[in-house]
Structures are given as C-alpha cells and as structure tokens.
C-alpha cells in the first residue's frame, strides 16, 4: 500500500480501509465486544498497523508544528524574562505562578471570563439546538435558512465587533438610541451583556452546524416508529434524537467552551477592557505583547491552558463513552 | 506514539514525512532580499500614510542608484505595528532597515539595542533646526537614537457661535459648558476617555500642565507628586461634571470627531486631523468651529500639551546602515516634511517649515500648533513606557471613579513595579 | 417525524425561518448599510443610509492590494481545508473504528493543542518559520492552519464516524453489492454530513484567522484578507476607514456564502430507509 499526503493517496487509503474493516467484520461476529482481547492475531496486527498509518500524518503535522512552541512557552513561564531586559533573564521556578495567582487583576479577569463562558455556552447550546432543528427540519426555504444562519459565523470577528460598537454608541448607532439614555458600553453590567450578545450572535451557528450534522445521523425510521408508538415530540427528542447526537453535542460543547474561555476580539474592540471587562486572554496579551514580559505572559497562557484542560476533562468524563477514542463507542 | 513493531514501518513513515515536507516547501521559491544589480534595497517599515510613497519615490530619485527604498506598510493599529517590529528585531531579522517608531517606543528600542545611535554628521543634521520637544523623544541616555519625522499635538476646537472666548482653564471650560447646558444649547466637551493610550495622553497633558511629575527626570523612579494629584482631581471633576458625552469613558479619537461633527459638542480636545475631516463632512458646522491652545489647570499658567508623532530609526540588524541613515534623513528632510504636512496632515518637526507660505492654506492653525510645540509635554521617557501606559490607562478608567490621593498612591506603586517589569499588567 | 406537508405546518416553519433569518442577518445588514454610507452620514444613528454611495467599494478595488489578499485567502483556506479534512478523516476513521495502542494519546494530545492559547505560540512559530524560510509564504500559513484545525476535524469526524451504523455496509454486500459499491452507496453518504460540516468549520476558521496571518506574513505575497483590513488607511492617522472595512467585510462574506451554499446541501438526513437499499 502506498500512502502519501495527497488527496489521491487518501482515496486509496480509504478504499483499503473499507476492505480491511469489511474483512474484519466478516470474521468477527458483529455483536461480540471488541474489548475482549484474543492473542494478537494476524488481523489484529493488521488493524494496529492500519490505525497507526492512518493517524501518522495528522499526528506528525500537529507535533511538528506545536511541540516546540508549547514546550518553549512552558519553559518561559518558569523564568523571569522581559524581552527588553534580556540580561535579567533567570530561572525562577514557580515564582511567576505565585505572582499571577495572587494578583487581583488576574482573578477579576478570571471571573469575567468564567461568567462569559458559562452564560454564552449555555445559551448557545439551547439556541444552537433550536437552530439546528429548524435548519434540519424546515419544510420551506431550507437552503436560505441554513446559509443565512451561518453567515454570522463567517463574518470577520473584528468587523462584527466594530459594527456592534457603532450600533451601541449613543448618537451614532441605531441600538443605543433604541434602548436607553446612557451609554451602555460605559457600564460594567451592560458592557458585559453586549459582549455576550455579540459572542452568542457570532458563534451560535458553530454550535448549530455541529448539532445539525448530528441530527442528520438520527435514523428517520426510528423517529417514525416512535411516532407510531405514540411518543410525543418531546419524547422523540429526548429518547431518540439526543442519544444519537451525544457525541456531536460533546464536540460542540467542548470546542465552544475552549473558544469562549479565550474570548478576546469582542472585548478588545467593544470596551478595550474598560470597567473591569478584561478577560484572561486580554491580560495575557497585555503582558506578553504590550509588556513584552514573556515570563508572566507565558505563565498566564499556561494557566488558561490548565483551566481549559480541566473543563475539557470534566466534559469528557461526563459524556463517558460518547467521547472520541473511548473503546465502547460502537453503536449497537 | 509507541511503536512496538516499528522497524518495518519506520522507513515508510520517514518517507511520508519527507514527502509532506517537500510538498509544503517546494512551492516557495527563493525569497532573498532581491538586490538588483548591487543596488541595496532599504526596507522602510512605516505606518500607513497615504502619500508617503511619493516621498519615497523622491528619495529614490535623489539617491541616483546608491540605494532603493522599499516602503513596507505597517498595520494601522499601533500595537500591531510595534509587535511586528519587536518580534522581528528580537529574532535579529536583517530584513528591516529603517523603522518608523511611535515617539513613545524610541527608548524601549534603544535600550534593547535594536536600533543604532545617530552620530557625527548625521546627528548634527537631524538636530539642526528640529524642535526641542520632538527631539527629546528621540533621545535615550543623552544619545540620539532617532530622527523625528513628524510630531503632533491636540488642540481645543470650539464653536465660536456658542463660545465667544476660548476658556483658559479646564474649570472655565466646564462652567461654560454647564451654562450652555442650562440654556438648552449644544454643550458637550468631547475628548478621549476610553481605557487606552488616549486616556494616558489626556492625563499626561493635565499632569504636566499642573507642573506634576509622573516619573523622576532620569525616568528611573515613580514620583506621582502634588501636581499629578491635582491633575487627577481635575480629571475626576471633569468626568463627573455632567458636560461630557455619555460615551466619554469608551471614546477614542475617531468617534469623538464624529460626535462633534454631528453637532452635539461645544468643545472638542482632539488632534488636528478633525479640521479637514469636518470641512469635508459638515462644511456648515466647520465654519462655526475655531481653535485655541488646550486649556490649562490654572487660568494664568498656559497648558503643556502632550506630543505624539513618529521617529525614524535604523535597525541594528540592517545590512546597509550607512545607506539607511541616508534614506531616513531624506524622508524627513525639510522639503519632504513639508510635502507630508500638506498632503497627509502630519505636523513637521523642523521649525522653519511653519513659516513657509504654502503651509498657511493647509494649516490655518499652525501658529497655535507651534505655540504648543514650543512648551510641550512628553510622555514618560523610559524603556518601560508601554507597561506604564497599560497600568495608567487601567487605573484611570473610568475617570469618574478616580479618588485622587488614593489613585495617585496606587499608580505610584504600580508604575514602580512596571519600571522593573515586576508584577502583572492589568 | 410525521411528514405532513400541510399549509399550516409550512406556515409554522416559515415563521420560524423568518425569526432565524432576522436574528442572523440584522447585524449583517447593519454592516452592509455602513458600507453604503457616505463618510458624513456614517454615524448618523440611522439603520439605513440616507445617501447611498459605492465609494467604499471603489476604494477597496482601487488598488490590487485587496484582490491579492482575496486570492491568498481563498487559496490558503481551500488548501488547508482539503488537507485538514483528509488527514482528519483518516485519523478519525482509525480512532472510531480500529483498535490500536496510542489512540487515546492521540485524542488527548490533539485536544491539548486546541487548548493552548495561540497568542503565546506565535512568537516561537515565527522563529521556526523564519529559519526554515517559511515566513511570509503560503505554506507558512497553511501549516499552522492545518495544525490548529486538525483537533476540531478529528473530534468532529470521529463523533460522526462513531454513530455511523457500519453494519449496513455488510448488509449491502449481502444484498449483492461489491465492496466499492457498498462503500460508495452506503458509507460515503452517511459520512458526508460530518465531512462537509467539518469542511465548512475548518474553512471558516482559516478564513477568519487574524493572529497567525498578521504574525507570519509581511508582504502582499501571502497576506490574507483579515490582515489586509488592518492595513486599510483612513484619510489620516486617526480616522478609521470604517466604510471601506465594512465594504471589504461584505465582499469577503460572499465566498463564505458560496462555500456554505455549496456544502450545506450535502448535510442532509443521511440515514433513510432508501439508503440501505442503495
């Protein structure tokens, strides 16, 4: 078998894949749990080889591009290192972590970020599910709805943020004039609300698209059968659709949360962090890019990374076997 | 990845990696610096300026084949400009020769040894006839590290149909605006108060006008003396006087201009660009608008106004330093500064240009600008300026929440930390 | 679900459609409206322009700066999308269908990569690319795009592959289909929604990226559209070229619309009773 990185090569690989798995399935009774490991048979070895071979290109690219930058960042976080004072560079262990974790700016920003993450992801999940159902099921104008609904996600974030800013500035924007006398972007609560609105508007389509593709996997005949058995719409949704969609929901939640926790553009444009609306990413940006303090900046990056990793871990545990890579994922 | 029976597989993986690397690298051809026929290319990294290419062409013609300047435009946002240059200088990239630096970055770049000192004849030529204020921003530890190309100062713009005499102090301006408000006329005092550099510029103007010092004269220590506290009081009083725009604490330059243009304001403190823009967008209103020196803290002590602008520096990693100095001098020479002043609206740093008759039409406000430039306020001259500015803008925002003495004490501590690159920037 | 195509059902869906479209498009129309306003009326607080102008569009097409960036963006995003989806599909197939040691490691590591704040990875990446001569080239952007799109691609695709009833393939073969037919007629249609969803998401990710694009390019040779926007100039240093930026935002949304229009049609209900019979 020849494998290379071109699309043509992948076709070959995919065909091969189909052959092998087909062969394997013919040999192993379908109901048998794959986890029961017989001594390594020829088939098993072939399966391993194929698995590695298929994963190798993706793994290689990811590791080659990111291994050094990530390790380097972690290494920097253990140093006192300001780009402007290179002579003072020294290894200081965890001191940067102590500095950051005892700093009130950090915790304020952390609170803001957590709030934005929880609120936006929760609302997006609900709205996204509704949107997905509409995009998937609608009887009229399906193409238009799907395309229109995805446009917000496709618009360059910074431009969208600027347009929101104009819209919410008194005297210059249609929304500010609509609602109140004051300037909503100069107060903390209303600023945060607008930031979240902008986030939700922008990224609900991401959620919806992933969920819609999950919906596409729900077998029609199963729904029909449930309907005939007298299941209500809600029962059909919770009993038939949700279980099939679980992996899609996990992926959508996981990647939205990762992104939401790193919110930057909207805040940067809308308030520049004024009235205590800074996020942890803005703090990292200010220390790393503006302050050129590579030590503190990298420390913040590592801390953001750890936080997100914990969130991801919790999600993956909650979803159990629906998570990619878990052994029992196979559908009966 | 673990690989128990890897011996057989390994060659294939290696071939794959090689193939991937090849496909990815092959399309890019040679990317050398393209010296055609021995003429060195001088890469000029400079913020976007509409007609600068014309200046570059002039200089290339004047160079008669000794060098050729290529204008590489930097992004519009100051942060983006700085980070691009810093990243490449930190990597000792020889691809940059002449750099257009914001006046507040010069000390930082000089202290990191990223830019070359100007000496001898070059230095003498730059110092000849250049205004003292802008020149000050180009020095670090009494050495000259850059050549000021253009400067900038804010002016007070006001409606002469509403305000007969320009106010001499901020408090006079506030009361005038309050009177207009009672009469139901346009009254707002519009200026920049968002959490960004613009707020630091405003505060620096107030502090210097009050005779205060943010840093010690050598730039090594945080001072925050009596004058800076008075400036904090003034800023807080202004923010809570009911004459600002509701958006004051989120306002940046262009929105301020637009709001004044729409007729809400009686006063505007902003850079000179607002005037030609207003003549174009709202000529009726522009007829009613005139200008004066920015008000002071005391009515009897004239203000000291913060200067901005761009300095030209030569990268320490340039492969053609001699030509780079020459190119930088050409771009900022009197003739080209005049061209840029008239066509791009950037105030010159060479004093005698202001007397040029051609300037009168493009710069009706040139007398006021020159007056302010002769007694200017510079922002703290220190390699740590960016950090100090980040700290100050965060602590001054929102201006209505300033508690003068307490804010001053907090600022002193935070600035001291920032000077030593200690602690966390907000 | 009952497939009643009564007028009332249609009306109900139509109403919901309208709600969705309004929610999604009002802010977009606002951006479009800004792009048609004259500088004088840009911020007059009205939703629709008082005076319409095409000047902003003329401005962005006046030089080839924007067009060059558009070409770069399309080329880079398409290549990166194709490669990321192909590599992602291979890995996802293995993860969801095959048993091999190191699988969980791969899944974990790819998630870690997606989680690390990119802002601190940019500078080391810049150093590497400069040494390899990749700085300011197409591959110099394509590589990081593939890398940071791969985790999402792998996760999305394995989630979908996991839910595909692979036994159907066997059933089809029992019905007399050849291996190739079974794959083409049964498995491929089932995998399609996942593949096209991934393609859309990856494409939009590459299309909208600003951080890598501004850090790893320096000339028009490889500058993409979001970065080109930050090089637009107003009349002077402090004037924002808002109109031109909005016009450009409208123009660059068109390729996204076309891309979505083209691919969304393939995200349909995969498994109907018809599919099994082929």
Note the pLDDT tens digit of each residue in A249-271. 998 999 999 899 989 989 988 98
Considering only CB atoms, B87 lies closest to which of C106, C123, C136, namely C123
A177-181, A204-208, B198-202, C210-214: which range is least confident on average?
A: A177-181
Q: Are B324 and B45 in contact (CB under 8 A)?
A: no
B389 vs B415: CA distance, rounded Å: 9
Q: Does A173 touch chain B (CB under 8 A)?
A: no
Angle, CA A306 vertex, CA A303 and CA A309 arms, to 5°: 150
The token pair that represents B351 in the structure block: 């004093």
Provide the pLDDT for residue B324: 96
Considering only CB atoms, A284 lies closest to which of C2, C31, C119, namely C119
Q: What is the DSSP letter of B40?
A: P
Locate all alpha helices (DSSP H) within chain C, ordered by sequence. Answer: 7-35, 55-62, 65-97, 103-115, 122-132, 138-163, 167-174, 179-182, 188-208, 211-215, 225-229, 242-264, 273-277
Provide the pLDDT for residue B234: 97
Q: What ipTM does the predicted assembly reach?
A: 0.85
Provide the pLDDT for residue B415: 95
pLDDT greater than 70 at residue A205: yes
Does residue C181 sit in the same domain as residue C244?
A: yes
Does residue C87 sit in the same domain as residue C165?
A: yes
The model's confidence at residue C139, banded by pLDDT at 50, 70 and 90, is very high
The token pair that represents B425 in the structure block: 């920037």
Name the closest residue on chain A to residue B107, using Cα atoms.
A84
Task: List, as ranges, residues 246-265 from B with C-beta within 8 Å of A.
Answer: 246-250, 255, 258-259, 262, 264
pLDDT greater than 70 at residue C46: yes
Does residue C9 sit in the same domain as residue C116?
A: no
pLDDT greater than 80 at residue A328: no
Provide the pLDDT for residue C5: 61
- Cβ contacts (< 8 Å) between A72 and chain C: which residues? 124
Does residue C69 sit in the same domain as residue C48?
A: no
Task: Give domain limits for chain B.
Answer: 41-152+308-374, 155-305+384-419
Considering only CB atoms, A60 lies closest to which of B9, B17, B255, namely B17
Q: Does B424 touch chain C (CB under 8 A)?
A: no
C26 vs C19: CA distance, rounded Å: 11
Does residue C211 sit in the same domain as residue C87?
A: yes
The mean per-residue pLDDT over the stretch C99-104 comes to 88
- Cβ contacts (< 8 Å) between A54 and chain C: which residues? 90-91, 93-94, 98
The mean per-residue pLDDT over the stretch A236-243 comes to 88
Burial annotation A155-176 (CB, 10 A radius, 16+ → b, else e): bbbbbbbbbbbbbbbbbbbbbb
How many pairs of residues across A and C have Cβ atoms under 8 Å apart? 372
Q: What is the DSSP letter of B117?
A: P
Does residue C120 sit in the same domain as residue C13?
A: no
Considering only CB atoms, A186 lies closest to which of B90, B247, B425, namely B247
| Element of type H or E holding B48 | none
Q: Does B25 touch chain A (CB under 8 A)?
A: no
Task: Give domain limits for chain A.
Answer: 1-25+40-66, 95-327
Contact A288 C23 (CB under 8 A): no
Q: Which residues, including other chains, have CB under 8 Å from residue A228's CB and lie 6 or more apart?
A: none
CATH class of the A95-327 domain in this structure: mainly alpha
pLDDT greater than 60 at residue A26: no
Q: Does B425 touch chain A (CB under 8 A)?
A: yes
CATH number at C206 reads: 1.10.3720.10
Among C20, C28, C29, C41, most A C-beta atoms within 10 A, so best to mutate, is C20
The mean per-residue pLDDT over the stretch A223-244 comes to 87
Q: Does B276 touch chain C (CB under 8 A)?
A: yes
Quote the crossing angle between the two packed helices C7-35 and A104-137, to the nearest 10°. 130
pTM, 2 dp: 0.85
Contact B253 C238 (CB under 8 A): yes
Provide the pLDDT for residue C127: 86
Note the pLDDT tens digit of each residue in A291-318. 889 999 999 999 999 999 999 889 888 8
pLDDT greater than 70 at residue A38: no
Does residue C265 sit in the same domain as residue C201?
A: yes
Q: Does A43 touch chain B (CB under 8 A)?
A: no
Task: List, as ranges, residues 103-142 from C with C-beta within 8 Å of A.
Answer: 103-104, 106-117, 119-121, 124-125, 128
The model's confidence at residue A327, banded by pLDDT at 50, 70 and 90, is low
Contact C218 B76 (CB under 8 A): no
B68: which strand partners?
B41
- The parent domain of residue C34 ranges over 1-53
Considering only CB atoms, B421 lies closest to which of A53, A169, A293, namely A293
Contact C132 B87 (CB under 8 A): no
Contact A54 C23 (CB under 8 A): no
Provide the pLDDT for residue A180: 62
Contact A22 C124 (CB under 8 A): no
B383 vs C110: CA distance, rounded Å: 40
Calculate the average pLDDT of chain C: 85
How many Å lie between the alpha carbon of B69 and the closest alpha carbon of chain A? Answer: 29
Provide the pLDDT for residue A12: 36
Q: Does C236 touch chain B (CB under 8 A)?
A: yes
**What is B41-152+308-374's CATH number, 1.10.10.10, 3.30.1490.20, 3.30.420.130, 3.40.190.10?**
3.40.190.10
Calculate the average pLDDT of chain A: 82
Q: Looking at chain C, which subunits does it touch, using at least 3 CB pairs closer than 8 Å as the criterion?
A: A, B
Q: Are A161 and A269 in contact (CB under 8 A)?
A: yes
Nearest to C269 by CA among A130, A211, A252, A219: A219
- Cβ contacts (< 8 Å) between B29 and chain C: which residues? none
Considering only CB atoms, A291 lies closest to which of B196, B249, B387, namely B387
B170 vs A161: CA distance, rounded Å: 34
Number of domains in chain C: 2
Provide the pLDDT for residue A17: 39
The model's confidence at residue A143, banded by pLDDT at 50, 70 and 90, is confident
Considering only CB atoms, C133 lies closest to which of B31, B93, B345, namely B31
Q: Does A60 touch chain B (CB under 8 A)?
A: yes
Mean pLDDT of successive 10-residue stretches along chain B, which has 426 residues: 37 41 39 59 93 95 94 89 90 93 95 95 95 95 96 96 95 96 95 94 97 93 95 97 92 90 92 89 91 95 96 96 96 95 91 92 91 95 93 94 95 93 85
Does residue C117 sit in the same domain as residue C222?
A: yes
Q: Are B55 and B339 in contact (CB under 8 A)?
A: yes
pLDDT greater than 90 at residue A34: no
Question: What number does CATH give the domain B155-305+384-419?
Answer: 3.40.190.10
Provide the pLDDT for residue A306: 93
Does residue C73 sit in the same domain as residue C131?
A: yes
Q: Looking at chain A, which subunits does it touch, using at least 3 CB pairs closer than 8 Å as the criterion?
A: B, C
Name the closest residue on chain A to residue B390, using Cα atoms.
A286
Does residue C126 sit in the same domain as residue C11?
A: no
The model's confidence at residue A326, banded by pLDDT at 50, 70 and 90, is low
């Amino acid at each position: 078998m020849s494998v290379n990185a071109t699309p043509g090569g992948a076709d070959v690989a995919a065909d091969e894949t189909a052959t092998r798995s087909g062969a394997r399935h013919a040999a192993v009774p379908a109901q048998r749990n794959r986890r029961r490991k017989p001594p390594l048979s020829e088939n098993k070895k072939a399966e391993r080889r194929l698995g590695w071979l298929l994963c190798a290109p993706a793994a290689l690219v990811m590791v080659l591009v990111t291994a050094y930058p990530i390790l380097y960042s972690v290494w920097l976080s253990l140093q006192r290192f300001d780009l402007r004072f290179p002579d003072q560079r020294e290894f200081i262990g965890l001191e940067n972590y102590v500095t950051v974790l005892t700093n009130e700016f950090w915790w304020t920003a952390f609170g803001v970020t957590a709030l934005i993450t929880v609120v936006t992801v929760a609302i997006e999940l609900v709205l996204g599910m509704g949107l997905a159902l509409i995009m998937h099921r609608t009887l009229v104008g399906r193409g238009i709805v799907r395309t229109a609904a995805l446009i917000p996600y496709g618009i360059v974030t910074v431009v969208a943020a600027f347009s929101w800013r104009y819209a919410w500035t008194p005297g210059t924007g249609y929304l500010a004039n609509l609602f109140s006398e004051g300037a909503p972007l100069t107060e903390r609560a209303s600023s945060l609300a607008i930031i979240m609105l902008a986030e939700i508007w922008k990224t609900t389509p991401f959620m919806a698209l992933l969920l819609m593709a999950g919906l596409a996997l729900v077998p029609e005949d199963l729904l029909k059968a449930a309907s005939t058995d007298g299941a209500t719409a809600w029962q059909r949704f919770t009993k038939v659709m949700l279980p099939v969609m679980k992996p899609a929901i996990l992926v959508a939640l996981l990647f939205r949360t990762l992104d939401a926790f790193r919110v930057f553009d909207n805040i940067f444009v809308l308030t520049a962090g004024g009235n205590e609306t800074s996020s942890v990413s803005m703090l990292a940006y200010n220390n790393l890019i503006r302050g050129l303090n590579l030590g503190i900046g990298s420390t913040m990056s590592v801390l953001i990374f750890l936080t997100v990793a914990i969130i991801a871990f919790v999600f993956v545990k909650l979803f159990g076997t629906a998570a990619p890579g878990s052994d029992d994922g196979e559908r009966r | 990845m673990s690989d128990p029976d890897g011996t057989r597989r390994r060659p294939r993986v290696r071939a794959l990696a090689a193939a991937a690397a090849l496909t990815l690298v092959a399309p890019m051809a040679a990317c050398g610096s393209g010296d055609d026929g021995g003429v060195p290319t001088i890469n000029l990294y400079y913020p976007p300026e509409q007609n600068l290419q014309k200046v570059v062409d002039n200089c290339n013609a004047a160079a008669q084949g000794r060098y050729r300047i290529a204008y590489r435009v930097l992004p519009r946002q100051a942060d983006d400009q700085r980070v691009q240059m810093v990243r490449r200088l930190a990597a000792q990239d020889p691809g940059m020769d002449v750099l257009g630096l914001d006046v507040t970055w010069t000390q930082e770049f000089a202290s990191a040894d990223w830019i070359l000192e100007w000496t001898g004849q070059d230095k003498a030529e730059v110092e000849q006839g250049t205004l003292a204020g802008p020149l000050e921003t180009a020095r670090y530890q009494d050495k000259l590290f850059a050549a000021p190309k253009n400067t900038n100062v804010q002016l007070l713009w006001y409606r002469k149909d509403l305000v007969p005499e320009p106010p001499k102090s901020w408090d006079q301006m506030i009361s005038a605006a309050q009177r207009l408000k009672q009469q139901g006329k346009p009254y707002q005092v519009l200026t920049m108060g968002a959490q960004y550099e613009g707020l630091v510029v405003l505060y620096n103007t107030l502090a210097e006008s009050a005779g205060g010092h943010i840093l010690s004269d050598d730039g090594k220590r945080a001072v925050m003396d009596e004058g800076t506290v008075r400036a904090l009081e003034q800023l807080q009083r202004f923010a809570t006087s009911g004459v600002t725009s509701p958006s004051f604490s989120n306002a940046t330059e262009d929105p301020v201009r637009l709001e004044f243009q729409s007729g809400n304001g009686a006063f505007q403190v902003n850079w000179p660009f607002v005037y030609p823009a207003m003549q174009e967008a709202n000529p009726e209103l522009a007829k009613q608008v005139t200008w004066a020196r920015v008000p002071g803290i005391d009515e009897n002590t004239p203000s000291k106004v913060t200067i901005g602008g761009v300095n030209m520096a030569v990268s320490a990693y340039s492969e053609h330093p001699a030509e780079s100095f020459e190119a930088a001098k050409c771009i900022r020479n009197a003739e080209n500064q005049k061209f840029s002043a008239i066509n791009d609206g950037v105030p010159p740093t060479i004093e005698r240009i202001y007397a040029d008759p051609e300037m009168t039409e493009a710069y009706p406000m040139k007398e006021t600008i020159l007056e302010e430039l002769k007694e200017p306020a510079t922002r703290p001259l220190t390699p740590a300026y960016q950090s100090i500015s980040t700290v100050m803008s965060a602590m001054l925002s929102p201006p209505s929440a300033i508690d003068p003495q307490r804010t001053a004490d907090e600022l002193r501590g935070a600035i001291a930390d920032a000077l030593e690159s200690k602690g966390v920037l907000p | 679900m009952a497939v009643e195509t009564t007028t009332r059902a249609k009306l109900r869906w139509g109403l919901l459609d309208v709600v969705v479209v309004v929610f999604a498009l009002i802010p977009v129309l606002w951006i479009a409206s800004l792009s048609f306003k004259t500088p004088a009326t840009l911020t007059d607080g009205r939703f629709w322009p008082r005076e319409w102008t095409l000047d902003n569009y003329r401005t962005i097409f006046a030089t080839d700066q924007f067009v060059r960036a558009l070409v770069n963006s399309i080329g880079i995003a398409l290549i990166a999308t194709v490669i990321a989806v192909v590599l992602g599909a291979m890995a996802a197939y293995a993860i969801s269908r095959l048993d091999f040691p190191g699988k969980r490691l791969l899944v974990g590591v790819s998630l870690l990569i997606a989680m690390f704040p990119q802002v601190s990875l940019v500078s080391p990446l810049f150093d590497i690319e400069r040494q390899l001569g990749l700085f300011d080239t197409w591959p110099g952007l394509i590589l990081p795009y593939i890398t940071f799109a791969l985790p999402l691609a792998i996760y999305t695709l394995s989630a979908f592959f996991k839910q595909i009833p692979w036994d159907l393939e066997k059933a089809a073969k029992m019905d007399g289909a050849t291996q190739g037919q079974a794959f083409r007629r049964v498995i491929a249609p089932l995998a399609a929604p996942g593949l096209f969803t991934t393609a859309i998401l990856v494409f939009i990710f590459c299309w909208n990226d600003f951080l890598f694009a501004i850090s790893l390019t320096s000339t028009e040779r490889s500058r993409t559209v979001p970065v080109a926007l930050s090089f637009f100039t107003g009349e002077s240093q402090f004037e924002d070229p808002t109109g031109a930026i909005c016009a450009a935002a409208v123009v660059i949304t068109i390729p996204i619309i076309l891309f979505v229009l083209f691919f969304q049609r393939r995200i349909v209900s995969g498994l109907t009773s018809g599919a099994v019979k082929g």
